[in-house]
Structure 1
């Protein structure tokens, strides 16, 4: 069993696929609501789950919603790495 990392809202994580994502809400220890920049064009909000030692999208198909305003700007700006 893997150790689930402690994640806080308003921080950045990296998904197993390598995508950086901004944490909007911690729904549970193993589920987050995140925002990410899809294809360098669109800011999207979606849920991720902790699975096999990494964060993965909850759904394999389209399931997110577009971000607007301040939330969109945060995601487009990206993490300071």
Structure 2
């Protein structure tokens, strides 16, 4: 992230954006923070979904009635 924040005193400015190695402080902060948050939520949701799916398939295979007894006990 810090490499994308390099300002003109430490880089070579040019007229064309593609010919320079300068960065933008604000754009790099927005990009990397949003990337981190989005990827964190995606990976977290995949992990939770995998654990839930594994538990659900285990209940189905074993014929466990734990879930049904819980529902019967807590349904009004």
Q: Max radius of gyration: which structure?
A: 2
Write 1 or 2 for the structure with the bigger share of strand: 1
Write 1 or 2 for the structure with the bigger share of helix: 2
Common fold: TM-score over 0.5: no
